[in-house]
Amino acid sequence: MIEPVLANDFDRLFEIEQQAHLVPWSKGTLLNNQGERYLNLKLSQPGQIVAFAICQSVLDEATLFNIAVAPAFQGKGYGKRLLKALIEQLKTQGVQTLWLEVRESNHTAQRLYLSLGFNEVTQRKNYYPTTDGGRENAVVMALYL
């Protein structure tokens, strides 16, 4: 089931965030990413949230700031279902372009985005911190809705 994220979902979202990301957001950052301009969706299996997406719209452009699937549920099609649902909702809101940034090394996520029609637009050099204290490029992708 895919539904909007509610304020009291954030504890579970933070658990998934910590499990799924190499360099997770803090709880504070996660909590700051809600409000009027956000379209945040969660995908639930009976009894628990297993994935979420955080997206912000400004006029006719939107940015996917975060998408994460709990590790035990990855590779089962949930990420794709969630992103497709998000795209459909953005279309009904009149959004024309969905932007995102992804680590250059994150081939799983890039494959998901390419399979949904995103194109690589540019790269931001040394954009993300890495766990070994280095930096990694971001790939900027866009989907024209």
Ligand X SMILES: CC(C)(COP(=O)(O)OP(=O)(O)OC[C@H]1O[C@@H](n2cnc3c(N)ncnc32)[C@H](O)[C@@H]1OP(=O)(O)O)[C@@H](O)C(=O)NCCC(=O)NCCS
Q: Which residues belong to the active site?
A: 101, 113
Partners of residue 119 on adjacent β-strands: 142
Q: What is the rounded distance in angstroms from the CA atom of residue 40 to the CA atom of residue 35?
A: 9
What's the min distance (Å) between Cβ of 74 and ligand X? Answer: 3
Residue written as token pair 């990420």: 79
Cα end-to-end distance, the chain, whole Å: 23
Q: What is the rounded distance in angstroms from the CA atom of residue 116 to the CA atom of residue 57?
A: 19
Span 50-79, contacts to ligand X by CB under 6 A:
66-69, 74-79
What's the min distance (Å) between Cβ of 21 and ligand X? Answer: 5
Is residue 84 involved in binding ligand X (CB under 6 A)? Answer: no
Shorter beta-carbon distance to ligand X: residue 94 or 135: 135
Contacts with ligand X by CB under 6 A lie at 20-21, 66-69, 74-80, 102, 106, 108-109, 111-112, 115
